[in-house]
């Protein structure tokens, strides 16, 4: 995987002139979250497991659609970045009679780059359109079979994934596939283990699920329902950290779980050292920036 993404990066970089050396230059701050810079979007390619599992899932979705439809399938790629990473490598496997792609991004530099890339690689016949729009309020003018958007970070923070799903999914036909199919946030308790001098690392690290918090998918898009109260067990037995895990179902059995890539990094929300809470409420807020919020409802009496 590492070799494959490194090789792709060299090719994509040399054609587009977009590299990963200006990660923080050119972010666009939208009311719905941050659209990361062309360089940072290019860097996503190098998250090898993310790229591999997305590509596998998207290939399965395309194959399923091709099996059931007697025409070219229409794909909208919302937030394609400069390389169109989650579809470009698959174009070798299909013909332009089978798939038609609309590339959409809010960033003109990324859109120009992806156009240069596919033209240079000789894939221009696959492309229906290049659209410079905000996917969180874009009005769809075509009956898409598959929509792809990876505009997220762990715990659905900062980037506009949820707003984009809220805008695009209700505009799709009921058989359309949105990728990723589901993003789930779960609360875990973690025992951070102890530093082991001999092994020069922490040992005894363990995690156990506390409660599923919420999932966003085709039928669950209303963030008003993204809230949950978590009861903290009386005896923590060393499981003193409360972490949130993000699991992403790309398509069917192609799933990104804890620590597979940065999108699945566990985030620490609490460390119960001296006193700990009885119950904590979690909820998701879209404004001013997408993030999971929480508050202790009641502390344990000492």
Ligand X SMILES: C[S@@+](CC[C@H](N)C(=O)[O-])C[C@H]1O[C@@H](n2cnc3c(N)ncnc32)[C@H](O)[C@@H]1O
Binding-site ranges for ligand X (CB under 6 A): 30, 32, 35-36, 41, 44-45, 78-81, 85-86, 104-107, 110, 134-136, 150-151, 160, 164
In 3D space, the residue among 190, 176, 260 whose CA is nearest the CA of residue 218 turns out to be 176
Of 92 and 237, nearer to ligand X (C-beta) is: 92
Of 265 and 278, nearer to ligand X (C-beta) is: 265
CB of 19 to ligand X, least distance (A): 14
Directed axis angle between helix 48-68 and helix 2-16, to 10°? 80
Of 164 and 176, nearer to ligand X (C-beta) is: 164
CB of 9 to ligand X, least distance (A): 11
Of 165 and 292, nearer to ligand X (C-beta) is: 165
Phi, psi of 38 (to 5 degrees): -55, -40
Residue 69 and residue 50: Cα distance in Å, rounded? 28
Six-digit token string for 142 = 């075509």
Residue 170 and residue 47: Cα distance in Å, rounded? 30
CB of 215 to ligand X, least distance (A): 20
CB of 137 to ligand X, least distance (A): 8
Of 10 and 271, nearer to ligand X (C-beta) is: 10
Six-digit token string for 253 = 């059995």
* Direct distance between the N- and C-terminal alpha carbons of the chain, in angstroms, rounded to an integer: 52
Residue with smallest beta-carbon separation from ligand X: 79
**214 contact partners, CB below 8 Å, separation of at least 6:** 184, 185, 220, 225, 226, 227, 228, 284
CB of 206 to ligand X, least distance (A): 31
């Amino acid at each position: 995987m590492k070799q494959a993404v490194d090789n792709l990066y060299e090719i994509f970089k040399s054609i587009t002139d977009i590299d990963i050396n200006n990660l923080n230059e050119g972010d666009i701050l939208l009311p719905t979250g941050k659209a990361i810079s062309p360089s940072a979007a290019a860097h996503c390619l190098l998250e090898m497991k993310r790229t591999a599992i997305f590509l596998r899932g998207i290939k399965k979705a395309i194959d399923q659609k091709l099996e059931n439809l007697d025409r070219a399938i229409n794909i909208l790629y919302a937030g394609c970045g400069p390389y169109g990473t989650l579809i470009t490598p698959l174009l070798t496997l299909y013909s332009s009679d089978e798939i038609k792609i609309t590339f959409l991004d809010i960033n003109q530099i990324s859109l120009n780059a992806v156009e240069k890339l596919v033209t240079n690689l000789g894939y221009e016949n696959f492309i229906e359109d290049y659209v410079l729009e905000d996917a969180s309020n874009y009005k769809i003018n075509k009956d898409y079979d598959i929509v792809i958007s990876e505009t997220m970070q762990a715990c659905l923070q900062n980037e506009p994934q949820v707003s984009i799903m809220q805008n695009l999914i209700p505009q799709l036909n009921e058989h359309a596939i949105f990728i990723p199919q589901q993003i789930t946030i779960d609360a875990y308790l973690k025992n951070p283990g102890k530093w082991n001098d001999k092994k020069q690392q922490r040992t005894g690290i363990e995690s156990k699920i506390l409660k599923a918090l919420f999932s966003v998918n085709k039928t669950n898009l209303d963030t008003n329902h993204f809230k949950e109260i978590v009861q903290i067990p009386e005896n923590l037995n060393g499981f003193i950290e409360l972490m949130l895990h993000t699991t992403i179902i790309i398509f069917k059995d192609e799933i990104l779980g804890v620590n597979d890539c940065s999108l699945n990094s566990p985030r620490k929300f609490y460390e119960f050292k001296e006193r700990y809470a009885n119950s904590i409420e979690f909820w998701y807020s879209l404004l001013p920036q997408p993030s999971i919020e929480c508050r202790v409802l009641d502390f344990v009496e000492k």
